[in-house]
Structure 1
């Protein structure tokens, strides 16, 4: 990974190449793996990698992969089907929109301004490398670019803070 540059912000999942490289580095990093496997401490409870360490990039990637694997992979639950009603003949679909469509390249639709980010795994929520490392929890991050997304966000927040 030395000499490899990473995007300062990545809103999509790691590419298969980044994922496999990270897993290889994780297997080679015996000290970190021993700590995590022997202690059975989940990654969210461990400290973030030290940016001053000589192998920070490798540890940072390993940390991200472990956080994503333990907290950011969607698993269907009753919450997914909270509003589903079999008696009405509703189709049983996950309200979290999972699994999501795979997208090979990020694009922007010039007509609508909609951003479609690259997605290499249909079950992983969108995340930002730095935010998931800092918060150490699940997330589903989205860049709010278009007017329709902004309106939907305002509606969601208003509905959430005024619910009874």
Structure 2
């Protein structure tokens, strides 16, 4: 139908969706090389973003891997809907084999379960800083000025 209220609202929503995704991609997915990209005399960016731009998705006949359509070499492969929903940098990759899937599951499991700093350690550190500097906290203006 042409111009009905619901179709107009849907068109406005799609326009906002595309604008929002473009903004998110520009802010979080576009890699801008800096000094840290070329450490230890490297001639190419260590982030290894780049590669070839491809106009369409291609299936590698030897490995069966999917090479996703990619128009911008300084961005990860992405899915606009996932970028919109997560509102952050995403990297969408085909997992053509059980080995690739197992590697990703192992990586995510290790990342999620890695031991972090325990809460009691954080509070213990804060208490020790306050204990060592209690005279500065409760002291006079001269002591506060000295601490700076």
Please give the range of the TM-score, normalised by the shorter of the 2 chains: 0.5 to 0.7
1:157 aligns to 2:108 (yes or no): yes
Contact 1:112 1:146 in 2 (8 A): no
Distance 1:154 1:79, change over 3 A: farther
1:98 aligns to 2:49 (yes or no): yes
Q: Which of 111, 114, 117 matches 2:62?
A: 111
Distance 1:95 1:152, change over 3 A: farther
Which has the larger displacement, 117-126 or 150-159?
A: 150-159
Whole-angstrom distance in 1 between the partners of 2:85 and 2:17 = 11
Shift of 1:144: 1.7
Whole-angstrom distance in 2 between the partners of 1:125 and 1:151 = 21
Distance 1:78 1:156, change over 3 A: farther
Q: Cα RMSD (Å) of the superposition?
A: 3.1
Question: Quick one: higher RCO (CA 8 Å, sep 6+), 1 or 2?
Answer: 1
Contact 2:65 2:95 in 1 (8 A): no
- Answer 1 or 2: which has greater helix percent: 2
Whole-angstrom distance in 2 between the partners of 1:123 and 1:110 = 26
1:133 aligns to 2:84 (yes or no): yes
TM-score by length of 2: 0.57
Segments of structure 1 that go 5 or more residues without pairing to the other structure are 3-51
Structure (1 or 2) with the larger CA radius of gyration: 2
Distance 1:69 1:79, change over 3 A: same
- Indicate the residue corresponding to 2:23 in structure 1: 66
Aligned pairs, how many? 109
Q: Could you list the per-position Cα deviations for residues 77-98 of structure 1 after superposition, in whole angstroms to 9, with x for gaps in the alignment?
A: 56656xx644xxxx44434312
Contact 1:102 1:118 in 2 (8 A): yes
- Indicate the residue corresponding to 1:57 in structure 2: 14
Contact 1:73 1:124 in 2 (8 A): yes
